[in-house]
């Protein structure tokens, strides 16, 4: 297992593999207290099928970057391509599923109807909707809970439902913004494992924002370490772990080495300063 | 079940105690009937004048229900229409709040002039009274009922305006709309009855109260008030019942009060 | 403040609509009047102009109402029974006295309900339920009964004003006293604070926003009560009496003028309370 930084060499074959290409991206917010440079000169290429984590303290721009890729925020300068299109076109083409920090399930719909929501909007016929909903529930181990309402489920189960919802229309990309942040550690561990299994099974490209170092190291093929003021990429680390990995891997020296490198990057970006 | 009975006991006992004191006090102190009739006298009057009371009820309720439906429906419709224009919202909302605080019943004589003496003018007064609370509540509900995450979710689906309105913002505005519907039941009753104080054909709850007061038939006045009170409470209870069915999902139904 | 432009534009639009509506609604009446007077050839412009100046229009034009308001306030002596100032003063007096008593009673009742759980459990359901009852239906009866006790003039109207305002104030203040977070109440318990201390140091200050909100509702309700009571017994004057008189004698513009005066009064009262509220709440750091 090697720990090397991603080579920046550009070959034609590599270009085909890049689901997302970001070059020199900057984003400035105008707030009442003056302008805030949320993102500054971001360069990043995301390969198909990888699990990419973004880690950093609050204010480092990781959520802003995810939202920019999702066309929920507009960059002030730079280039951003998703599936070879602009972010706006990618959103119109429903290129990704988004999972928020909270489940954001609509409380007046059953769990099954919530998973079917994007399918209704995108005009899938009823038969296909029902099929996909059933598959989605299976995928996240919520079979049998379809007729329940969101508030009847625990936080972890609700978040699993929102993941099923994000995948119901089979997008290439899965964008996740600190999805397990509100859950306790035991549930988190379980969901981390389930997410890995799901990723391995569906072969999606996952962009995952987190502020937990162990979570980032455990889940990812690559980790983007970001630092604040202004928001920028501090380091990009390849983890090199196999696709199938047990929880015990967190005790191994290789794991700790990666974690240390992440921590080092955070410190270098003044993330631990006040 | 026991908890529900225990909840009902104190107010019921209190109410019965008040009635008992009333009955006994009026008899003991020899209070004349034109000042304060005993509850038993009111009950007798109620029984003997039921046809008149029923006719009054039917007359007034026409104005109440017609005005309520048109006013609330109109307010909701306008709220949806101005939904796409934040400019219009910022212009109309302060005005709506302003108008809600005004003595709108004062438009009753004007409505009588425009729509005649019958129930239509009373309905018109109720329309004016119920329109603005609904407009304000519905606009606030459409704007803020749905959280930003839920709205971002719709954006990630590239849902268009009408899809977002139908699937997210209208259901999320439900609690606000029902808040206005509940307020409007009381306003509708007040509007119709007070409008009848200003002139009406010889039937109607407001008419009955103002004329019987002139004849000093206070027991009849009380009987009419009882009808009005029952109608008002029943109307409110009906809307609350429907609210519970439609917005069953709202957090307020899951919070236990201590 | 960013609302000033939209509100102004909406108001201007409303004005324009009003003029258009007045011209349309009065036109047929005006045509009849022309016909009766033998006028046959008149231009549309003349028709429109005439319908905006009718003496008994279906819908008075804004300038007609403004002129009537001016006539009845500035040009008439304040003490004259023909002027609006006289009647507005009567209504205002009834409203203020009623509101003060209603507020005092309402707050007092709320404090009592908060301090005695037994009162809370037995009375609150009735008070909440009474909100669904059109209490204003009691107004005529109260006026007449008080008259039997030789309580006439301003007092019965003030009583009704008080009666209408105390319910919303009680409900609002009880909500306010119960508004502190359970965590804050627990904190008080860790200090072994007495009921009175908890009330004075936590519940009362926490209820400040509810206080101002219910005062606004109470003031508006008191005014409505006073006006409606005056309709019942109009000999003693007041804006409600003017409304009734205008309705009886078909004096349309008079009705509108009285209505505007009542509206202005209500707006002024509610506005003053709102302003006081904003200042006080700002100093108490309740602002968003």
CATH code for the domain of A188: 3.40.50.300
Question: Touching check for C145 and chain B: CB below 8 Å?
Answer: yes
- Binary contact (B167, A94; C-beta < 8 A): no
Whether pLDDT at A3 is above 50: no
Residue A154 belongs to domain spanning:
108-170
Task: Report the gap between the CA of A98 and the closest CA in chain B (Å).
Answer: 7
- Binary contact (A122, B249; C-beta < 8 A): no
- From chain A, pick out residues whose CB is under 8 angstroms from the CB of B150: 104, 106
Domain-located, residue B27: no
Closest residue, chain B, to A105 (C-alpha): B150
pLDDT band at A4 (very low <50, low <70, confident <90, very high): very low
> What pLDDT does B257 receive?
38
Last residue of a domain, one of A127, A151, A170: A170
Q: Which chains does chain B touch, 3 or more C-beta pairs < 8 A?
A: A, C
Q: Quote the tokens at residue A246.
A: 């047990």
Segment B203-256, tens digit of pLDDT: 889 889 888 888 888 889 889 988 998 899 899 989 999 999 999 998 777 654
- Binary contact (A121, B167; C-beta < 8 A): yes
> How many CA atoms within 13 Å lie on the side-chain side of A226?
33
- Binary contact (B158, A149; C-beta < 8 A): no
- Binary contact (B109, C267; C-beta < 8 A): no
By Cβ distance, the residue of C2, C10, C132 closest to B233 is C132
By Cβ distance, the residue of B153, B159, B249 closest to A107 is B249
Pair A131, A251 in one domain = no
Task: Report the gap between the CA of A215 and the closest CA in chain B (Å).
Answer: 23
Residue B82 belongs to domain spanning:
39-253
Q: Which CATH number fits domain C84-283: 3.40.50.300, 3.40.190.10, 1.10.3720.10, 3.10.450.350?
A: 1.10.3720.10
Task: Report the gap between the CA of B203 and the closest CA in chain A (Å).
Answer: 45
In angstroms, the CA C170 to CA B256 distance is 23
In angstroms, the CA B89 to CA C3 distance is 9
- Binary contact (B153, A98; C-beta < 8 A): yes
In angstroms, the CA C256 to CA C239 distance is 11
Pair A229, A120 in one domain = no
Whether pLDDT at C241 is above 50: yes
Going from the C-alpha of B184 to that of each of A264, B65, B178, B189, the distances in angstroms are 63, 11, 9, 8
Domain-located, residue B153: yes
Domain-located, residue B108: yes
- From chain C, pick out residues whose CB is under 8 angstroms from the CB of B189: 133-134
**A223 three-class SS:** strand
Pair A68, A183 in one domain = yes
Q: Are B110 and C260 in contact (CB under 8 A)?
A: no
Predicted model pTM:
0.84
Closest residue, chain B, to A73 (C-alpha): B152
Chains B & C: contacts with CB separation below 8 Å = 155
Q: Quote the tokens at residue B252.
A: 């307020």
> Number of folded domains in chain B?
1
Question: Touching check for B158 and chain A: CB below 8 Å?
Answer: yes
Q: Residue A183: CB partners within 8 Å, gap ≥ 6?
A: A155, A156, A159, A191
Domain-located, residue B2: no
Domain-located, residue A274: no
- Binary contact (B157, A107; C-beta < 8 A): no
Whether pLDDT at A13 is above 60: no
- From chain C, pick out residues whose CB is under 8 angstroms from the CB of B95: 7, 10-11
> What pLDDT does A272 receive?
74
- Binary contact (B109, C247; C-beta < 8 A): yes
Segment A106-124, tens digit of pLDDT: 999 999 999 999 999 999 9
Strands (E), A71-221: 77-82, 85-86, 96-99, 173-177, 205-210
Segment B90-106, tens digit of pLDDT: 888 888 887 877 788 78
Spatial CA neighbour of B134 closest among B178, B83, B86, B89: B178
By Cβ distance, the residue of A72, A97, A149 closest to B155 is A72
By Cβ distance, the residue of C125, C134, C141 closest to B11 is C125
In angstroms, the CA C261 to CA C243 distance is 10
- Binary contact (B10, C267; C-beta < 8 A): no
- Binary contact (B158, A92; C-beta < 8 A): yes
Task: Report the gap between the CA of B229 and the closest CA in chain A (Å).
Answer: 34
- From chain C, pick out residues whose CB is under 8 angstroms from the CB of B91: 3, 6-11
- Binary contact (A122, B157; C-beta < 8 A): yes
Q: Residue A272: CB partners within 8 Å, gap ≥ 6?
A: A266
Q: What is the mean pLDDT of residues C90-110?
A: 94
Question: Touching check for C254 and chain B: CB below 8 Å?
Answer: no
Domain-located, residue A243: yes
Segment C129-147, tens digit of pLDDT: 777 777 788 888 888 888 8
pLDDT band at A274 (very low <50, low <70, confident <90, very high): low
Task: Report the gap between the CA of A249 and the closest CA in chain B (Å).
Answer: 34
Last residue of a domain, one of A170, A187, A206: A170
- From chain C, pick out residues whose CB is under 8 angstroms from the CB of B186: 131-134
Q: Are A176 and A104 in contact (CB under 8 A)?
A: no
Question: Touching check for B254 and chain A: CB below 8 Å?
Answer: yes
Whether pLDDT at A5 is above 60: no
- Binary contact (A149, B249; C-beta < 8 A): yes
Going from the C-alpha of B192 to that of each of A261, B120, B204, C38, C260, the distances in angstroms are 75, 10, 9, 42, 21
Q: Do chains B and A touch (3 or more CB pairs under 8 A)?
A: yes
- From chain B, pick out residues whose CB is under 8 angstroms from the CB of A168: none
Angle of CA points C42, C43, C49, to nearest 5°: 95
Q: Among the listed ranges A50-59, B72-81, B120-129, C71-80, which one has the minimum average pLDDT value?
A: C71-80
Whether pLDDT at A14 is above 50: no
Complex ipTM: 0.85
Segment C117-127, tens digit of pLDDT: 888 888 888 88
Segment B246-256, tens digit of pLDDT: 999 987 776 54
Best B21, B85, B91 member to test C by mutation, with max C CBs in 10 Å, is B91
- From chain C, pick out residues whose CB is under 8 angstroms from the CB of B215: none
Q: Are A242 and A248 in contact (CB under 8 A)?
A: no
By Cβ distance, the residue of B156, B163, B247 closest to A96 is B156
Domain-located, residue B30: no
- Binary contact (B163, A121; C-beta < 8 A): yes
Q: What is the CATH number of the domain that holds B143?
A: 1.10.3720.10
- From chain A, pick out residues whose CB is under 8 angstroms from the CB of B174: 108
Q: Do chains A and C touch (3 or more CB pairs under 8 A)?
A: no
- From chain A, pick out residues whose CB is under 8 angstroms from the CB of B168: 106
Neighbours of A42 (CB within 10 A): 23
Q: Are A19 and A203 in contact (CB under 8 A)?
A: no
**C54 three-class SS:** coil
Closest residue, chain B, to C13 (C-alpha): B91
> What pLDDT does B5 receive?
73
Question: Touching check for C123 and chain B: CB below 8 Å?
Answer: yes
User: Which residue would you say has higher pLDDT here, C49 or A1?
Assistant: C49
Task: Report the gap between the CA of B235 and the closest CA in chain C (Å).
Answer: 8
In angstroms, the CA A224 to CA A227 distance is 10
Pair A263, A201 in one domain = yes
- Binary contact (B249, A151; C-beta < 8 A): yes
Q: Do chains B and C touch (3 or more CB pairs under 8 A)?
A: yes
Going from the C-alpha of A91 to that of each of A63, A73, A125, A147, the distances in angstroms are 17, 12, 21, 30
Question: Touching check for B14 and chain A: CB below 8 Å?
Answer: no
In angstroms, the CA B176 to CA B173 distance is 5
> Number of folded domains in chain A?
2
Q: Which chains does chain C touch, 3 or more C-beta pairs < 8 A?
A: B
Q: Are C265 and C239 in contact (CB under 8 A)?
A: yes
Segment B25-55, tens digit of pLDDT: 888 888 887 778 888 888 888 899 999 999 9
Task: Report the gap between the CA of B91 and the closest CA in chain A (Å).
Answer: 24
Mean pLDDT for chain A? 89
Q: Are B193 and C134 in contact (CB under 8 A)?
A: yes
């Amino acid at each position: 297992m090697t720990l090397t930084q991603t080579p920046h060499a550009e070959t034609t074959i590599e270009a085909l593999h890049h689901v997302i290409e970001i070059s020199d991206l900057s984003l400035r917010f105008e707030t009442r207290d003056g302008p805030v440079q949320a993102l500054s000169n971001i360069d990043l290429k995301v390969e198909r099928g990888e699990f990419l984590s973004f880690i950093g303290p609050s204010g480092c721009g990781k959520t802003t970057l995810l939202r920019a890729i999702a066309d929920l925020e507009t960059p002030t300068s730079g280039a951003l391509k998703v599936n070879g299109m602009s972010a706006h076109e990618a959103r119109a083409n429903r290129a990704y599923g988004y999972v928020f920090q909270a489940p954001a399930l609509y409380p007046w719909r059953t769990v099954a109807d919530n998973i079917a929501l994007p399918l209704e909007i995108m005009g899938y016929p009823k038969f296909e909707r029902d099929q996909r909903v059933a598959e989605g529930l299976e995928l996240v181990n919520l079979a049998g809970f379809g007729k329940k309402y969101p508030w009847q489920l625990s936080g972890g189960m609700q978040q699993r439902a929102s993941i099923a919802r994000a995948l119901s229309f089979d997008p290439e990309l899965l964008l996740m913004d600190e999805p397990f942040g509100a859950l306790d550690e035991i549930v988190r561990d379980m969901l981390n494992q389930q997410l890995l299994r799901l990723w391995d099974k569906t072969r999606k490209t996952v962009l995952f924002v987190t502020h937990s170092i162990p979570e980032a190291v455990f889940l990812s093929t690559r980790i983007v370490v970001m630092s604040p003021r202004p928001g920028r990429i501090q380091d990009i680390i390849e983890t090199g772990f196999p696709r199938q990995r047990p929880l015990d891997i967190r005790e191994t020296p290789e794991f700790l080495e990666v974690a240390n490198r992440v921590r080092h990057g955070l410190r270098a970006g003044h993330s631990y300063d006040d | 079940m026991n908890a529900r009975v225990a909840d009902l006991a104190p107010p019921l006992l209190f109410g019965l105690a008040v009635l008992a004191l009333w009955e006994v006090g009026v008899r003991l102190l020899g209070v004349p009937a034109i000042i304060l009739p005993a509850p038993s006298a009111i009950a007798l009057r109620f029984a003997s004048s039921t046809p008149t009371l029923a006719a009054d009820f039917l007359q007034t309720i026409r104005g109440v229900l017609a005005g309520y439906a048109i006013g609330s429906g109109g307010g909701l419709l306008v709220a949806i229409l101005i939904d796409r224009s934040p400019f219009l919202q910022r212009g109309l909302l302060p005005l709506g709040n302003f108008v809600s605080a005004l003595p709108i019943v004062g438009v009753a004589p004007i409505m009588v002039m425009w729509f005649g003496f019958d129930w239509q003018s009373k309905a018109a007064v109720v329309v004016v009274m119920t329109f603005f609370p609904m407009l304000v509540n519905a606009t606030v509900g459409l704007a803020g009922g749905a959280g930003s995450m839920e709205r971002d979710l719709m954006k990630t689906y590239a849902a268009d305006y009408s899809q977002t309105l139908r699937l997210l913002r209208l259901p999320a505005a439900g609690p606000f709309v029902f808040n206005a519907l509940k307020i409007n039941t009381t306003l509708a009753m007040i509007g119709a009855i007070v409008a009848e104080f200003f002139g009406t054909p010889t039937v109607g709850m407001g008419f009955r109260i103002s004329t019987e007061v002139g004849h000093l038939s206070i027991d009849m006045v009380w009987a009419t008030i009882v009808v009005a009170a029952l109608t008002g409470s029943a109307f409110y209870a009906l809307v609350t019942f429907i609210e519970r069915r439609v917005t069953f999902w709202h957090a307020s139904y899951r919070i236990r009060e201590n | 403040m960013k609302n000033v432009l939209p509100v102004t534009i909406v108001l201007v639009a409303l004005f324009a609509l009003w003029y258009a509506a007045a011209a349309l609604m009065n036109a047929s009446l005006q045509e009849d009047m022309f016909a009766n007077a033998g006028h046959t050839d008149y231009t549309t412009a003349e028709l429109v102009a005439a319908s905006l100046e009718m003496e008994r229009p279906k819908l008075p034009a804004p300038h007609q109402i403004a002129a009537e308001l001016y006539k009845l306030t500035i040009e008439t002596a304040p003490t004259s029974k023909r002027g609006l100032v006289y009647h507005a003063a009567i209504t205002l007096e009834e409203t203020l006295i009623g509101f003060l008593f209603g507020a005092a009673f309402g707050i007092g009742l709320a404090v009592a309900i908060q301090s005695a759980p037994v009162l809370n459990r037995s009375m609150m359901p009735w008070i909440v339920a009474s909100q669904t009852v059109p209490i204003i239906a009691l107004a005529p009866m109260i006026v007449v009964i008080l008259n039997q006790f030789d309580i006439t003039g301003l007092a019965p109207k003030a009583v009704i004003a008080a009666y209408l305002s105390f319910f919303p104030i009680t409900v609002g203040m009880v909500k306010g006293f119960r508004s502190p977070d359970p965590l804050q109440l627990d904190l008080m318990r860790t200090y072994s604070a007495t009921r009175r201390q908890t009330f004075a140091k936590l519940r009362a200050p926490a209820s400040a926003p509810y206080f101002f909100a219910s005062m606004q509702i109470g003031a508006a309700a008191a005014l409505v009560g006073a006006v409606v009571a005056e309709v019942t017994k109009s000999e003693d004057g007041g804006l409600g009496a003017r409304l009734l008189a205008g309705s009886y004698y078909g004096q349309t513009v008079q009705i509108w003028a009285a209505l505007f005066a009542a509206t202005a009064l209500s707006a002024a009262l509610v506005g003053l309370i709102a302003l006081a509220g904003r200042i006080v709440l700002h100093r108490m750091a309740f602002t968003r």
